[in-house]
């Protein structure tokens, strides 16, 4: 246990700064708002926060189009505000990691402004410029955010490459000057005292310099429509292979791993700093010690349903693929996907399903990442007014539905809202006060607040309710923190033929101590034979009396019961 690093023990909490807390009353979340709620996070049991981009930005992609890597966006505060937040977090033993956007900058970044000024500018090769072919782009690559990956620049008569929006030109990491400049950015924040980075879109940093055409059998909009409509797992696997073919020359090239090893060596010089990759590819662990510290278990987050079979298969595959010494990392949500209850809620057992999802994150082996508001059961807000859309992805998909598929306006708006990311980025719901306490009465928040804040989906109400979802998170996080087997124990599946119950051990190899985790993920009772030659003492349960002891030859679980037991030695 003493050998665990802080990022292996910690519960991480992702904060979207624009939506967390507005301290200056302008309807936009800010750094001071986050600082004022550090006590809440500490009480919840959070030991590390991941801040989505706080840098100056024209906000085409809401901060992921960075215009200055070493400053703070004015609407969020100042560098001094950031230092104060960092110091106050550290005083509470809360670490802080930042979003680091390596692949691209904003087209308003001074580097790109210089690069596009003329073909012979010294920074021209800081980005990827190419001549067209017969008046067309250099090749048929797509942008992941729609349309061609190439944008024509009439000022110099060439095209520049962008994996995402055209306002996000890709940096040319094959140029050593780019690497030096970006590594200086890393040093700037580490010198200030930040504890690591979440690396955005890490797999897109390099692209094939030969620029060969891709040969996918359908267009990207056609693929997206088919993917959104697919319900059969075999069809989704077929479509995913098509997507891999479509972007094979733009993602996960071998050079990325060389860069990650260099970046790891840089941060290692600063001590106990963590690198977390926005990727599910286990190859980014390297040999377990030389690339990223953590890689997200996105396959679990993307599962269409939460069932024992799904979780067991996920853990079997993920854990078997880990290189020696690598550490797992689990999450159920982030700023790009639907919230847990909107994905998995059935309208009848939402309370129980929310607790199952929380228990999964906090009991599976690995570092858990929680998304702000999940601890109170926030849901997606599907906007029905196109003028309220902030996310350009939602507006783009509305246009695709209207122009390519002939979808009626009202339906296209709904589909655009469902496709876009505004739905999961709405303001944090602090209380029943106007605007859910996010910003003052009479001030319009940057995105509408979900109206269910008036129905108990807010922090203040749930702090007063001992059986609330927030209370459930707090209790389970505390148990995790004081139970060595839940922090460091290996995952040992049990009762693998059960269709209703997910049961596993978290067992420490050092001394054999173990914690039994049992979740009935169905609406009916479950009876499971375990034949464990020992007894268990209840540590935590939604149905059993805590402290009670019972033989573990079998378990009878109530619908949606969650129970954790310490294995006793007799």
Tell me the residue ranges of DSSP E strands in 239-398.
274-277, 294-295, 329-331, 367-371
pLDDT confidence of residue 224: 86
Structural domain contains residue 89: yes
Check residue 229 and give its pLDDT.
86
Over range 163-170, report the average pLDDT: 98
CATH number at residue 494: 2.60.40.1180
The answer to whether residue 433 sits within a structural domain is no
What is the CA 89 to chain-centroid distance, rounded? 21
Q: What's the DSSP call for residue 443? A: P
Q: What is the pLDDT of residues 176-201, one digit of tens each?
A: 999 999 999 999 999 999 999 999 99
Contact 290, 258 (CB under 8 A): no
Looking at the structure, do residues 275 and 366 belong to the same domain, yes or no? Answer: yes
Q: Is residue 550 scored above 70 in pLDDT?
A: yes
Do 226 and 262 have their domain in common?
Answer: no
Q: Are residues 99 and 200 in the same domain?
A: yes
**Whole-number pLDDT of residue 225:** 86
* Last residue in a domain, options 248, 270, 293: 248
Instruction: Look at residue 2 and tell me whether its pLDDT is greater than 80.
Output: no
Mean pLDDT over residues 413-439, rounded? Answer: 98
Residues 299 and 322 both lie in one domain: yes
Q: In this structure, is residue 188 part of a structural domain?
A: yes
Residue 200 among the catalytic residues: yes
**Tens digits of residue pLDDT in 24-82:** 999 999 999 999 999 999 999 999 999 999 999 999 999 999 999 999 999 999 999 99
Long-range Cβ pairs for the range 381-387 (8 Å, 24+): 381/422, 381/423, 381/426, 381/447, 381/448, 381/449, 381/450, 382/414, 382/417, 382/418, 382/423, 383/413, 383/417, 383/422, 383/423, 383/448, 384/410, 384/413, 384/414, 384/417, 385/413, 386/413, 386/416
Phi and psi torsions of 63, nearest 5°: 105, -20
Residues 36 and 128 reside in one and the same domain: no
Separation between Cα atoms, residue 163 and residue 169, nearest integer Å: 8
Residues 231 and 255 in one domain: no
Structural domain including 551 reads 487-567
| 90 shares a domain with 42 | yes
Structure tokens at 68: 């200055």
Name the packing angle between helices 79-91 and 176-192 (round to 10°): 60
Starting from the edge strand earliest in sequence, which strands make up the sheet with 150-153, in order? 129-130, 158-161, 150-153
CATH number, domain at 76? 3.20.20.80
For the entire predicted model, the pTM comes to 0.97
435, part of any domain: no
Average pLDDT over residues 15-21: 98
Q: Are residues 195 and 292 in the same domain?
A: yes
One of 99, 151, 170, 278 is an active-site residue; which one?
278
**281 part of the active site:** no
pLDDT at site 246: 98
> Per the structure, how many domains does the chain have?
4
Is pLDDT at 1 greater than 60 in this prediction?
no
Q: Are residues 180 and 286 in the same domain?
A: yes
Q: What is the CATH number of the domain that holds 120?
A: 3.90.400.10
- Asked whether the predicted pLDDT for residue 355 surpasses 80, the reply is yes
d(CA 443, CA 348): 35
Could you tell me if residue 358 is inside a domain? yes
Has residue 412 been placed in a domain? Answer: no
Do 315 and 463 fall within a single domain?
Answer: yes
Assess if residue 407 is contained within a domain: no
| Catalytic choice (30, 32, 107, 200) | 200
Does pLDDT of 570 surpass 80? no
Q: Do 501 and 369 reside in the same domain of the chain? A: no
**Is 416 inside any structural domain?**
no
Tally of CB atoms within 10 A around 240? 13
**Burial of 548 per CB tally in 10 Å (0-12, 13-18, 19+):** exposed
3-state class of 442 per DSSP? coil
Q: Is there a single domain that holds both residue 90 and residue 127?
A: no
């Amino acid at each position: 246990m003493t050998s665990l690093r802080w990022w292996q023990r910690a519960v991480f909490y992702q904060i979207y700064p624009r939506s967390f807390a507005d301290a200056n009353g302008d309807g936009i979340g800010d750094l001071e708002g986050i600082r004022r709620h550090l006590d809440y996070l500490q009480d919840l049991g959070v030991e590390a926060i991941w801040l989505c981009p706080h840098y100056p930005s024209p906000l085409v992609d809401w901060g992921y189009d960075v215009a200055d890597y070493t400053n703070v966006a004015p609407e969020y505060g100042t560098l001094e505000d950031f230092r104060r937040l960092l110091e106050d977090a550290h005083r509470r033993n809360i670490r802080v990691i930042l979003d680091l956007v390596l692949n691209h900058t904003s087209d308003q970044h001074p580097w790109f402004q210089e690069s596009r000024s003329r073909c012979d500018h010294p920074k021209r090769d800081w980005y990827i410029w190419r001549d067209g072919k017969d008046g067309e782009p250099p090749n048929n690559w797509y942008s992941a955010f729609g349309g061609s990956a190439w944008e024509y620049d009439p000022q110099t008569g060439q095209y520049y490459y962008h994996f995402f929006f055209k306002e996000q030109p890709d940096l040319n990491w094959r140029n050593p000057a780019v690497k030096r400049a970006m590594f200086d950015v890393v040093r700037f924040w580490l010198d200030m005292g930040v504890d690591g980075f979440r690396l955005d879109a890490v797999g897109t940093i390099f692209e094939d310099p030969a620029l060969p055409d891709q040969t996918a059998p359908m267009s990207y909009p056609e693929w997206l429509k088919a993917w959104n409509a697919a319900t059969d797992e075999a069809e989704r696997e077929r479509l995913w292979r098509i997507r891999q073919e479509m972007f094979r020359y733009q993602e996960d090239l071998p050079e990325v791993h060389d860069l990650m090893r260099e970046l790891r060596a840089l941060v290692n010089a600063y001590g106990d700093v963590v690198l977390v990759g926005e990727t599910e590819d286990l190859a980014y662990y390297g040999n377990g010690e030389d690339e990223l510290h953590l890689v997200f278990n996105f396959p679990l987050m993307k599962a269409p349903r939460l069932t024992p079979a799904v979780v067991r298969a996920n853990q079997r595959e993920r854990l078997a693929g880990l290189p020696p010494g690598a550490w797992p990392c689990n999450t159920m949500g982030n700023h790009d996907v639907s919230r847990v209850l909107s994905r998995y809620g059935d309208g009848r057992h939402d309370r129980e399903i929310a607790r199952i999802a929380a228990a999964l994150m906090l009991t599976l082996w690995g570092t858990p990442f929680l998304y702000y508001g999940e601890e109170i059961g926030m849901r997606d807000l599907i906007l029905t007014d196109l003028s309220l859309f902030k996310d350009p992805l939602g507006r783009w998909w509305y246009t695709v539905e209207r122009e390519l598929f002939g979808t009626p306006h009202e339906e296209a708006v709904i589909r655009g809202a469902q496709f876009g990311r505004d739905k999961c980025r709405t303001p944090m719901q602090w209380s029943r006060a106007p605007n859910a306490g996010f910003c003052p009465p009479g001030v319009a928040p940057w995105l509408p607040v979900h109206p269910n804040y008036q129905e108990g989906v807010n922090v203040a109400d749930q702090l007063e309710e001992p059986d609330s979802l927030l209370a459930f998170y707090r209790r389970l996080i505390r148990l995790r923190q004081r139970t060595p087997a839940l922090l460091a124990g290996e995952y040992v599946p049990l009762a693998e033929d059960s269709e209703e119950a997910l049961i596993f051990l978290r067992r420490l190899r050092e001394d054999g101590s173990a914690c039994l985790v049992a979740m009935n993920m169905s609406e009916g009772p479950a009876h499971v034979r375990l034949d464990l030659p020992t007894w268990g003492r209840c540590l935590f349960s939604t149905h059993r009396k805590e402290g009670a002891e019972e033989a573990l030859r079998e378990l009878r679980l109530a619908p949606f019961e969650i129970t954790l037991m310490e294995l006793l030695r007799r």
